[in-house]
A and B are shown apart, each in its own frame.
Chain A
């Protein structure tokens, strides 16, 4: 079951997001993550959807998405070279003794510390979803207070783009 990142250009209308979410639940497809925000053209939103499935299922998903009247265009980023990024913020319990260790792990992963209190850090990190997984795995699980992830977004490499 391959992981696919489907990038969708969709009308920026109130019901549009629920049409996409509803399609997935109604047809039993799974959504690993979903991000959405308006584009430089405020009448359009860009949605990035991460899903897993066999080739047949992914083909049906893209066809069904294309069928939604609000969907203008879409591409499966997994079909060609692309860049994937996700933003994560992690709140970590700290003590005198652990603070330095945590800092060095954050440095290795090229993260940033956004907030410091005597007993906590908030760490910001961007990267592929895999990299973010690796970071949380590297931190002592019991010290993690909270993890917030944006879900993956992506863009294809080269001069071609997804636009009107």
Chain B
């Protein structure tokens, strides 16, 4: 079978099992778009901005575990995609981005719409390729998927010059079934001794903590993590990226840790004597001040990426480089074989201490306010969707409230940009999720600033019939920025406010959707019910929330886990003078 480069690309994607590509056409990819037109296996989702394509593919990937696929043209199409590529990179999301490039003979001549895509994306991809020979195209696509999805996942860019996809040059096509790279070997075996040592340390703990993260979601190891945690009976905390990998409604779950983590999670980390970190990378939002991080703990760290180990926190007692799922299985087996059991007396005392911290009720807020409290909205969202929706978010206070008050019991339900913190992620990501799971409830929790960064994707949502619910916690502020200015800059609210916020109801309607605005607490529940009842409509819920509300608890930059700012007295926030 002889095919053109463009046909080879599409056939390779089909052979790879790709359902959707998210893209936007342009000169350098016109041959490819012509091939798209002439096939049906791979469905193309036309976005309204290339950033939207990358976030939509990313949302699809996070929800399904399958790689997201993006197609953009050269030059501005390629540069527009970079934010989304970096977003996926920071959170280790598998993604394959096909970018068009100017024709091989003119590369380097400042040709029309030429940018060095391989150069620009080098620091924010797992790997990238420039295709120089059409006979290598299928193999390169195979490599791209292999690299993106194995080991620590990540985005891979394949830059394809226009002449490579030309219809008049055809070559035999064969998609490789398997591929190996001599320079890349993502499989690692963990020596038994290390597993034994870890179990030994864990069983000798008096104040143990399980700290798990996004690696458990990426490694599909929630069931193993849950069994492991419940076998031991130890308290567990999750990073922002790990939420849902352990059921949040279980009694052993002490909430998220870190900057906006619960009092009990952070205090327990601080006092703990043995911590097992599972697929988590000791990010600075989690550790706070490095020299005050977990001063009494011996740490076991499981990570598939050796570079994650001892990167920020150096004192790792037992490093285990491996894939979480098999490693947890090994640990479980070793636990079962061990005659030793967790120290019941010590554990009871530990739980008693943790429950004392819990009783501080660090997530409590003013429930008697006349204003809509953002926390209340998320609680109601949780109830209306029975805790079973896919929740995407943007970046800011609303993101933290979604993380704190929506109790995720399943992995891949909480979809947000943690590492890069990209405003504009939420809406396109929700579209990607809805395409993957058309029957599921999908909501995007956002803020009036974030939503405007990719608002144009409302148009995509209409065209491709992805009825998502937009929960806009409209506080008329870049709340997260305002909060920092309040704490660290004596309330000088420099440019954290826009007094020309659009009428989102009209905007939603202009895009062909339903818009609803509410400003009273008693409207929250009915409005949510109404929105989710409209199964086939995208609904924009513009919710006027208490604009003075802040996210608590908070560990300010440069402070340790035991040094948390708690909500001081309930109901005082509205008294604060705001510009």
Closest-CB distance, A114 to chain B (whole angstroms): 36
Chain B residues with CB under 8 A of A15: 118, 122, 128, 130
Q: Which residues of A contact B127 (CB under 8 A)?
A: 69
**A56 touches which of B119, B306, B314 (Cβ 8 Å):** B314
Interchain CB contact under 8 A, B183 and A70: yes
Partner of B306, one of A10, A26, A66, A71: A66
User: Number of A-B pairs whose CB atoms are under 8 Å?
Assistant: 38
Q: How distant is the Cα of A60 from the Cα of B311 in the complex, in angstroms?
A: 7
A19 in contact with B122 (CB, 8 Å): yes
Contact yes or no, A71 B183, CB < 8 A? yes
A95 within 8 A of B: no
Asked whether A67 lies within 8 Å of B307 as measured between CB atoms, the reply is yes
- Nearest CB to that of B129 among chain A residues? A15
CB-CB nearest in chain B for A64: B307
Asked if A18 is at the interface (CB within 8 A of a chain B CB), the reply is yes
- Chain A residues with CB under 8 A of B37: none
A18 x B122 contact (CB < 8 A): yes
Closest to A70 in B: B183
Within 8 A of A (CB), among B101-158: 118-119, 122-123, 126-128, 130, 147
Contact across chains for A164 and B182 when beta carbons are under 8 A apart: yes
When distances are taken between beta carbons in the complex, the residues of chain A under 8 Å from B306 are: 63, 66-67
Could you tell me the distance between the alpha carbons of A11 and B181 in the complex, rounded to whole angstroms? 11
On chain B, the residues within 8 Å of A71 by CB distance are 183
Does B184 count as interface, using CB distance less than 8 angstroms?
yes
From residue 408 to 463 of chain B, which have CB atoms closer than 8 A to chain A?
Answer: none
CB < 8 Å neighbour of B307 from A18, A19, A56, A60: A60
A72 within 8 A of B: yes
- Minimum CB–CB distance from B183 to chain A (whole Å) comes to 4
Q: Considering the chains assembled together, what is the distance between the CA atoms of A26 and B406 in angstroms?
A: 37
Within the complex, what minimum Cβ distance (angstroms) separates B549 from chain A?
A: 38
Q: In the complex, which of the residues A22, A60, A67, A164 contacts B123, with contact meaning CB atoms closer than 8 Å?
A: A22
Complex: A11 Cα to B184 Cα, angstroms: 11
Find chain A residues with CB under 8 A from B123 CB. Answer: 22, 26
Q: Is A83 an interface residue (CB 8 A)?
A: no
- Bound-state CA distance A59–B311 (Å) is 9
Q: Which A residues are CB-close (under 8 A) to B314?
A: 56
Q: What residue of chain B has the Cβ atom nearest to residue A16's Cβ? A: B183
Q: How many whole Å from B132's CB to the nearest CB in chain A?
A: 9
Contacts of A72 in B (CB 8 A): 182-183
B271 at interface (Cβ–Cβ under 8 A)?
A: no
Chain B residues near A63 (CB, 8 Å)?
306-307
Chain B min CB distance to A17 (Å): 12
Q: Give chain B nearest CB distance to A140 CB in angstroms.
A: 44
Docked pose: A161 CA to B271 CA in angstroms: 48
Q: Hey, what's the 0/1 contact readout for A62-84 against B, CB within 8 Å counting as 1?
A: 01101101111000000000000
Decide: A69 and B122 in contact? CB cutoff 8 A.
no
Nearest CB of chain A from residue B186's CB, rounded to whole Å: 10
Query: What is the interface size of chain B, counting residues whose CB is below 8 A from a CB of the partner?
Result: 19
- CB contacts (< 8 Å) of A26 on chain B: these are 123
Residue of B nearest to A14 (CB): B130
Query: Are the CB atoms of A59 and B310 closer together than 8 Å?
Result: yes
A18-B183 in contact given A60-B311, A69-B126, A69-B147 (Cβ < 8 Å): no
CB distance from B90 to the nearest CB of A (A): 13
Q: Which of B278-317 contact A (CB under 8 A)?
A: 305-307, 310-311, 314
Q: Mark A129-158, 1 if CB is under 8 A from B, else 0.
A: 000000000000000000000000000000
Residues of A close to B183: CB separation below 8 A: 10-11, 69-72
Instruction: Kindly provide the distance from the CB of B70 to the nearest chain A CB, expressed in whole angstroms.
Output: 19
Q: Are A56 and B310 in contact (CB under 8 A)?
A: yes
Query: Are the CB atoms of B184 and A69 closer together than 8 Å?
Result: yes
How many Å from the CB of B126 to the closest CB on chain A? 7
Shortest Cβ distance from residue A52 to the other chain B in the assembled complex, whole angstroms: 19
| A-contacting residues, B64-118, CB 8 Å | 118
A64 to B122: give the CA distance in the assembly, Å. Answer: 14
Instruction: Give the distance to chain B from A83, nearest Cβ to Cβ, in Å.
Output: 26
CA distance A14 to B159 in the complex (A): 14
- B307 contact set on A, CB distance < 8 A: 60, 63-64, 66-67
B128: A residues at CB distance < 8 A? 15
B45 to chain A minimum Cβ distance, whole angstroms, is: 29
Query: Chain A 18-39 against B: per-residue CB contact (8 Å), 1 yes, 0 no?
Result: 1100100010000000000000
Residues of A within 8 A of B147 (CB): 69
Residue of A nearest to B184 (CB): A69
List chain A residues, Cβ under 8 A from B311. 60
How long is the Cα–Cα vector from A120 to B127 in the complex, in angstroms? 49
Q: How far is the CB of A135 from chain B (nearest CB, A)?
A: 38
Tell me how far the C-beta of A68 lies from the nearest C-beta in chain B, rounded to whole angstroms: 8
Minimum CB distance partner of A21 in chain B: B122
- Chain A nearest CB: distance from B82 CB in Å? 15
> What residues of B have a CB within 8 angstroms of the CB of A59 in the complex?
310
Q: Which B residues touch A14, using CB under 8 A?
A: 130
Query: In the assembly, what is the distance between CA of A13 and CA of B306, in Å?
Result: 25
Shortest CB distance B557–A (Å): 20
With a cutoff of 8 Å between Cβ atoms, the chain B residues found around residue A19 in the complex are 122
Q: How far is the CA of A72 from the CA of B118 in the complex (A)?
A: 20
- Report B-chain residues with C-beta under 8 Å of the C-beta of A10: 183
User: Shortest CB–CB separation between residue B389 and chain A, in angstroms?
Assistant: 36
Chain A residues near B119 (CB-CB < 8 A) = 18
A-B pairs, top 8 by smallest CB distance, nearest first, are A63-B307, A69-B127, A72-B183, A26-B123, A63-B306, A69-B184, A22-B122, A64-B307
B-side interface residues toward A, CB under 8 Å?
A: 118-119, 122-123, 126-128, 130, 147, 181-184, 305-307, 310-311, 314
A-B contact pairs, 30 of them (CB 8 A): A10-B183, A15-B118, A15-B122, A15-B130, A18-B119, A18-B122, A22-B122, A22-B123, A26-B123, A56-B310, A59-B310, A60-B307, A60-B311, A63-B306, A63-B307, A64-B307, A66-B306, A66-B307, A67-B305, A67-B306, A67-B307, A69-B126, A69-B127, A69-B147, A69-B181, A70-B183, A71-B183, A72-B182, A72-B183, A164-B182
